[in-house]
Structure 1
């Protein structure tokens, strides 16, 4: 237990957050800015963590992709990466890899949720809306739901 009145350092707070999951530098700056008492103190602490490889945006990208790709489409994963302040070539590369597997991932998500072809147009629309809200590409969604009608489920 912390003593009453004890305030952990910015580096300590950052390490505690990083021990729970990977964070981007931008995310840590946003979370820790209210605790900065001396201007520049936060940047210095984060620079040191980055130098020691405790803070690594590449790992943060991999972590988001690994956690979300099984349930979400590329668009939704991209939204989360942007929200975490992750941009650049590494993000573009990760998203390109996700697009290559979008159809198979969408089929798996659809199979887990529904498992059988939609019996009527209203149900078909429901299946499509579900996949679209998960961030899957509209053409991929059409292929998955149309393919469900053509698959042999018997």
Structure 2
């Protein structure tokens, strides 16, 4: 009887030579992936874990990586929250919108309150500045003042801040 030989292994990677100058990068550990995300910008614990799992990291491994980054000081929810408040305020958003966004990041009430209290700017002045830039000459035009008020409300400013800014006369400075 004839002995049947098994077919040759069809391993394309082993048979094909590597392209010159191209090496396969080793698979990154969950900690390396987390650190890669954190060096780009701050992330909340919840956001970091979500991003890791969306990149194929198992939930337990993602949580362990987030815990390690927090323990080593690379990730800090308080620092993240303060940075987000500053960034959003500088981009023209009001305290109501920023507070709501902080809530979506899994931060507790105390962390949100501390981050909001850390902001050293003036929300009313921010609103007036937005009106000045977006609606020049609108102090006398009721329709333009109404548009400015609607804009500020969408941006997350409180009613008092909106009323004060919409009535603001830039010539009073």
Please indicate the TM-score interval, normalised by the length of the shorter structure: 0.7 to 0.9
Instruction: Please report the RMSD computed on the Cα atoms of aligned residues, expressed in angstroms.
Output: 2.5
More displaced stretch, 3-12 vs 130-139? 3-12
Mark the runs of 5 or more structure 1 residues left unpaired by the alignment: none
User: What's the CA shift for 1:86?
Assistant: 2.2
Number of aligned residue pairs: give it. Answer: 151
Larger Rg belongs to: 2
Name the counterpart of 1:66.
86
Name the counterpart of 2:130.
109
Higher helix share: 1
Name the counterpart of 2:145.
124
Task: Give SS of 1:82's match.
Answer: helix
Q: 1:14 to 1:143 in 2, by over 3 A?
A: same
**CA distance in 2 between partners of 1:24 and 1:3 (Å):** 34
User: What's the CA shift for 1:58?
Assistant: 1.0
Task: Give SS of 2:49's match.
Answer: helix
Q: 1:40 to 1:2 in 2, by over 3 A?
A: farther
Runs of 4+ in 1 over 6 A off after TM superposition: none
User: What's the CA shift for 1:43?
Assistant: 1.7
Please say if residues 86 and 119 of structure 2, whose CA atoms lie closer than 8 Å, have aligned partners that are also in contact: no
Q: 1:92 to 1:53 in 2, by over 3 A?
A: same
Please say if residues 135 and 144 of structure 2, whose CA atoms lie closer than 8 Å, have aligned partners that are also in contact: no
**CA distance in 1 between partners of 2:25 and 2:118 (Å):** 48
- Are 1:9 and 2:39 counterparts? no
Mark the runs of 5 or more structure 2 residues left unpaired by the alignment: 1-20
Normalised TM-score (structure 1): 0.84
Please say if residues 118 and 127 of structure 1, whose CA atoms lie closer than 8 Å, have aligned partners that are also in contact: no
**CA distance in 1 between partners of 2:93 and 2:24 (Å):** 43
Relative contact order (C-alpha < 8 Å, sep 6+): which is higher?
1
User: What's the CA shift for 1:4?
Assistant: 4.2
- Are 1:30 and 2:50 counterparts? yes
Normalised TM-score (structure 2): 0.76
